[in-house]
Amino acid sequence: MNRSKPNLILAGLLATAINAGIAHAAGAADQITVNDAYIRQAPPGAMATGAFMVIRNAGPDEVRVVKAASTVSRFTELHTHLNEGGVMKMRQVKDIPVPPGGEAVLKPGGLHVMLIEMRLSLREGDMVPITLGLDDGSSKVISVPVRNPSSSAGSMGGMVGHKH
């Protein structure tokens, strides 16, 4: 495997994503910024992996993320984990609310965008477009880097909390 060769499929997707990003519909999407997004590189053979990020809402009204889409997986869903007496149960959620002037934190063990039934094996450094659909019908396309969890393990803990 040639690791340095860019993944052509993803490069194509990325170009689409950039175009889509420029042309995204106005609305709640304009109030939303997404920081610190990454997809955790899945171990070989894994069926699914998670995308994590911090979604901020600069506007005066609550914005709810109601869906997510990506071309790299057959299903792309909003999920969370419930800890029931030490048993972690992953469940789909219907939306992720982002309070006005606040943020929603998607992180391992909690809320996340689930990429299920991967169509291709992601490598570190790949950029994957993910579209977040919002409750007013507008959408936000973000380009999310794939990170090797081992190389990013050290920064993962600090990353979420260190923003002011």
Partner 1 sequence: MMPFRTLTSALVAAMSIALSTPAASADADPLRAAVAALGNINGRALACGHTEVVSRAKAIVIARVAKTRELGEAFEQATSAAFLAQGQQKTACPPRAVLAVELEVAARPLNPPNAHQLAATPETPEVGINPRYLLQAANGRAVMDGDFKDRFQLITFGYTYCPDICPTTLLEMAAVLKQLGDDAAKVQALFISVDPERDTLALLRTYTEFFDARILGATGSPELVKRAADNFKVRYERVIDPRLNPAHYAVDHSAGMYLLSPGGQFLTKFPYGKPVGEIVARLREEIARRAPADGAPMQGVAK
Concatenated DSSP letters of 20-37:
HHHHPPSSGGGGEEEEEE
Nearer to partner 1, 44 or 60 (CB): 44
Per-position b or e across 36-61, b if 16+ CB within 10 A of its CB: bbbbbbbeeeeebbbbbbbbbbeeee
On whether the CB atoms of residues 48 and 39 are closer than 8 A, the answer is no
- Residue 31 is which amino acid? Q
Q: List the structure tokens of 14.
A: 């990325």
Q: Minimum CB separation from partner 1 for residue 110, in Å? A: 9
Contacting residues toward partner 1, per CB under 8 A = 40, 42-50, 75, 81, 83, 86-90, 108-109, 112, 114, 116-117, 149-150, 153-154
Nearer to partner 1, 29 or 104 (CB): 104
Q: Minimum CB separation from partner 1 for residue 6, in Å? A: 22
Nearer to partner 1, 29 or 106 (CB): 106
Q: Minimum CB separation from partner 1 for residue 44, in Å? A: 5
Nearer to partner 1, 91 or 164 (CB): 91
Nearer to partner 1, 12 or 109 (CB): 109
Q: Minimum CB separation from partner 1 for residue 62, in Å? A: 26
Q: Minimum CB separation from partner 1 for residue 89, in Å? A: 5
The three-class DSSP label of residue 152 is helix
Residues whose CB is less than 8 angstroms from the CB of residue 30 and which lie 6 or more positions away in sequence, other chains included: 59, 138
Please report, for the chain, how many H helices and E strands are present, in that order.
2, 10
